[in-house]
Amino acid sequence: MRLLFSLVNLTSLDLNLLVVLHTMLEDPSVARTAARLHVTPPAISNALARLRAQFDDPLFVRKGRGLVPTPRALELAPALARAIEEIETVVRGEAVDPTTTRRRLTLALDDLNQVVALPALVTAVSRHLPRARLDVISIDTLMARGGLEAGAADVTIAPSAGLGDLCSRPLYVEEGVLAVRRGHPILKRKRVSPEALSKLRHVDLHLVLGEAGVGHELAEAELARSSVQRDVAVTVPSFVAAAMIAAKTDLAAAMPRRLLEALRQTAPLVVIEHAVPPMMMPMSLVWHRRTDTDPICTALRAAIVEAYDA
């Protein structure tokens, strides 16, 4: 009941009265308070009358030719000053500095970019936002939590196609290739025909919640244009898993060229050159419009762009 009574009192209170009280406490003069607040002295007198009724206290009493605050008014002064300052901050918007913020930021990446790009990303983010915390989550986690629309991440990297009304910026072009292990029998051929590729068994990738995504559709379309029919032996949820399987079996895998270069020492893979055209996929930096003008998220995006441009 006490909480309910407080809420009723608060909703019935004109917050402009608190501004009057705060100003009067700084300088107990009706005339000067009226001048500072650009109103008439009678308006200040009327506000003081309402404040006295609200707090059941005189608040200011005459001493000589001036006014002095009562003990109750002096008791209210510190908390009232803090409240006015916080309200002003909310209204005008507090300046934020990317170099001092300790905000927790979230970046969603597939395992390819975690392996290939993350060290450079961490370095760039540390330079732009040295005191912030960066959380990296998988694309699966992003989607399971409702995506960018639900605030599951501040930014992600995704194929440029099919982004809907999300904000985006072109970032780089991914080159997809068809790879097999070093020493694979098909590499002995002078020319690898579509028929030969169709006889291979393949590793397939379903990267998002166990389902085919935009990249999968592009790979399928490019292979179909080259008259290659994939015989899928196994489906995996990550680029690295596909690379390691292809490196240690006779299965072929379509994957980004960057991954082969990054795993060259641990996954001896060879691109089947000229068998199919390179699968070029434009990739974008993607974020939701709710963070479009946020200065900290803007600094995060600038750091990511810098890392990929380096």
The domain limits of the chain are 2-92, 99-310
H helix intervals, the chain? 2-12, 15-26, 30-37, 41-55, 71-92, 111-116, 118-128, 139-144, 194-199, 214-225, 239-248, 257-262, 295-309
pLDDT score recorded for residue 222: 77
> What CATH number should be reported for the domain whose range is 2-92?
1.10.10.10
Tokens of 162: 């099919």
The rounded mean pLDDT for the chain is 87
Q: Is the pLDDT of residue 209 over 80?
A: no
Query: What confidence category does residue 214 fall into, taking pLDDT thresholds of 50, 70 and 90?
Result: confident
Return the structure tokens found at 294.
């946020």
Q: Of the CATH numbers 3.40.190.290, 3.30.70.2190, 3.40.190.170, 3.40.47.10, which one belongs to the domain with range 99-310?
A: 3.40.190.290
Worst-scoring range by mean pLDDT, 2-11, 46-55, 184-193, 273-282?
Answer: 2-11
pLDDT of residue 3: 36
Max distance between CA atoms of the chain, in angstroms, equals: 109
Three-class secondary structure of residue 301 per DSSP:
helix
Rounded average pLDDT over 55-65:
90
pLDDT at 74: 92
For residues 61 and 7, give the distance between their C-alpha atoms in angstroms, rounded to a whole number.
29
